[in-house]
Structure 1
């Protein structure tokens, strides 16, 4: 299941053509009907399911290393948006007082 942009699903490739790949997600609780994606959607290929899972877990660990910086940036963004909104409202209030 895709939790966020940094989470990679393990996808088993059954068939492949020049422009698409068809397969299934072995980690999902219920394996549904095969799905197809464009070739561009596949980021990496691994020789075994275990290698794919290990790569995914390593990538998630790398993703998590940046969580604090992302939270800090989001807090700064919220502060900047609040300052912009306050400036907008103050400008409107000042214009109303001046008229």
Structure 2
């Protein structure tokens, strides 16, 4: 555990494509306790499983820099994701139309 607490700044998954900076104040083999210093209202310490940590850093600046770099990497894929979503919508529309046509055909309408 000593090696881990030496890197008290962590990135925690917030939602897809974004991680929040988290200050680890204490930890056990199974859990971490700390706060989110970048949030407007820093509330009481919260507990998570150690599995919730995406990455650990020695400094706040390193954690923030890693987060920003990861966002840039995420954004590189935006066009491909939009293209895939467009193709998915077309495929879902075709599936819906086929289903409706099958029901209508079976009813004799």
**Please, what TM-score do these two structures have when normalized by structure 1?**
0.93
Structure with the larger strand share: 2
> Hey, what does 1:77 align to over in structure 2?
88
- Cα deviation, residue 82, structure 1: 0.5
- Partners of 1:96 and 1:33 lie apart in 2 by 61
- Cα deviation, residue 97, structure 1: 1.9
- Partners of 1:86 and 1:55 lie apart in 2 by 45
> Hey, what does 2:34 align to over in structure 1?
23
The CA RMSD measured in Å over matched residues stands at 1.4
Q: Where in structure 1 are there 5+ consecutive unaligned residues?
A: none
The answer to whether the aligner puts 1:33 opposite 2:44 as a matched pair is: yes
- Partners of 1:59 and 1:95 lie apart in 2 by 52
Q: 1:61 aligns with which of 66, 72, 83?
A: 72
Q: Where in structure 2 are there 5+ consecutive unaligned residues?
A: 1-13
Moved over 4 A (4+): none
- Cα deviation, residue 94, structure 1: 1.4
User: Number of paired residues?
Assistant: 97
What's the CA shift string for 1:28-81, capped at 9, x where partnerless?
011001001001111111110000000000000000111111111111111111
- Partners of 2:75 and 2:36 lie apart in 1 by 23
